[in-house]
């Protein structure tokens, strides 16, 4: 008989659990048994209270994207001898995997990510709460005034749930932002005004405007810089 945990407080004893459709692995020293074909994060979402994983760019309705890296955990595929970091929203569960969701190394890595995100979006409630939880007092970097963490959830929701592509992520690096086609901030006819993007946004960066269309967060690139970028691209 083997004891498997199905939540943080409940375990079941299973005599023989040979089945190609299930995977046995351990999470924070608890043996768990889950259906095959899911990611670590998805599997643990269904195991109440097991593991401690924050996730900002994950939503069960859209494909995982791996943007925020907050869901990073340590995994070992050799029975616990060697561990490495993986994004749990992308990494599939495997037989015999050893997963640690809240080690000091993991917490330090998440703390660094939270510090960067909080510096970009200092007034965002979800980041302030994570900063409290992970002991980030004040970012060491210059503070920005954004709300958008570029998780891409709004874009994926528009494409995958609604079947439109009224918004997308454009540009790279510090210029990356959410925009309508042809790099517009105002949404045109391609947007049906469903509000899915505003609903799914983890930071509240998208609000519905009075015209029934979402108002996108604006990075506000100076026009001089856009001109320079265009010339460089042409040139």
Residue 29: how many CB atoms within 10 A of its CB? Answer: 10
Burial of 89 (0-12, 13-18, 19+ CB in 10 A): buried
How do beta strands 30-35 and 22-27 pair? antiparallel
DSSP 154-201: HHHIIIIISS----EEES-GGG-EEEBGGGBSS--TT-----HHHHH-
Q: Which is nearer to ligand FES, 150 or 216 (CB)?
A: 150
> With the C-alpha atoms ordered 148, 153, 155, 158, is the resulting torsion angle positive or negative?
negative
> With the C-alpha atoms ordered 133, 139, 145, 149, is the resulting torsion angle positive or negative?
negative
Indicate which of ligand FES, ligand SF4, none lies near residue 154 (CB less than 5 to 8 Å, by partner kind): ligand SF4
Q: Which two tokens stand for residue 131?
A: 């900063």
Q: Which is nearer to ligand SF4, 39 or 203 (CB)?
A: 203
Indicate which of ligand SF4, ligand FES, none lies near residue 58 (CB less than 5 to 8 Å, by partner kind): ligand FES
User: Are residues 63 and 160 in contact, defined by beta-carbon separation less than 8 angstroms?
Assistant: yes
Which residues would be at the binding site for ligand SF4 (CB under 6 A)?
148-154, 178, 201, 203, 205-206, 217
Indicate which of ligand SF4, ligand FES, none lies near residue 124 (CB less than 5 to 8 Å, by partner kind): none
Candidates 19-27, 61-69, 142-150, 183-191 — which segment interacts with ligand FES by CB under 6 A? Answer: 61-69
Length of the chain: 235
Least distance to ligand FES from the beta carbon of 60, Å? 11
Indicate which of ligand FES, ligand SF4, none lies near residue 89 (CB less than 5 to 8 Å, by partner kind): ligand FES
Those residues whose C-beta lies under 8 Å from the C-beta of residue 102, and which sit 6 or more positions away, are 28, 51, 52
Least distance to ligand FES from the beta carbon of 90, Å? 7
Candidates 53-61, 129-137, 153-161, 215-223 — which segment interacts with ligand FES by CB under 6 A? Answer: 53-61
Which residues, 66 to 95, sit near ligand FES by CB under 6 A? 66-71, 87, 89
Indicate which of ligand SF4, ligand FES, none lies near residue 178 (CB less than 5 to 8 Å, by partner kind): ligand SF4
Query: Of residues 27, 56, 99, 114, which one binds ligand FES by CB under 6 A?
Result: 56
Indicate which of ligand FES, ligand SF4, none lies near residue 69 (CB less than 5 to 8 Å, by partner kind): ligand FES
The residues that touch ligand FES, with contacts defined as CB under 6 A, are 55-58, 66-71, 87, 89
């Amino acid at each position: 008989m083997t004891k498997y945990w199905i939540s943080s407080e409940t375990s079941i004893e299973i005599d023989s659990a040979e089945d190609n459709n299930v995977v046995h692995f351990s999470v924070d020293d608890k043996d768990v048994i889950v259906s095959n074909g899911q990611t670590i994060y998805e599997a643990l979402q269904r195991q109440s209270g097991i593991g401690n994983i924050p996730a900002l760019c994950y939503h069960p309705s859209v494909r995982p994207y791996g943007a925020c890296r907050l869901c990073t955990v340590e995994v070992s595929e050799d029975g616990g001898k060697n561990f490495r970091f993986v994004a749990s929203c992308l990494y599939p569960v495997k037989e015999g995997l050893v997963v640690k969701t809240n080690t000091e190394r993991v917490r330090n890595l998440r703390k660094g990510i939270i510090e960067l995100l909080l510096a970009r979006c200092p007034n965002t409630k979800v980041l302030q709460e994570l900063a409290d939880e992970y002991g980030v007092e004040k970012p060491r970097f210059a503070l920005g005034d954004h709300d958008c963490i570029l998780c891409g959830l709004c874009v994926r929701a528009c494409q995958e749930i609604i079947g439109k592509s009224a918004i997308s992520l454009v540009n790279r690096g510090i210029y990356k932002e959410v925009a309508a086609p042809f790099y517009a901030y105002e949404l045109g006819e391609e947007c049906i005004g469903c509000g899915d993007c505003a609903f799914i946004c983890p930071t509240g960066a998208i609000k519905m405007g009075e015209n029934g269309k979402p108002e996108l967060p604006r990075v506000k690139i100076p026009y001089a810089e856009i001109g320079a970028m265009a010339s460089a691209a042409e040139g």
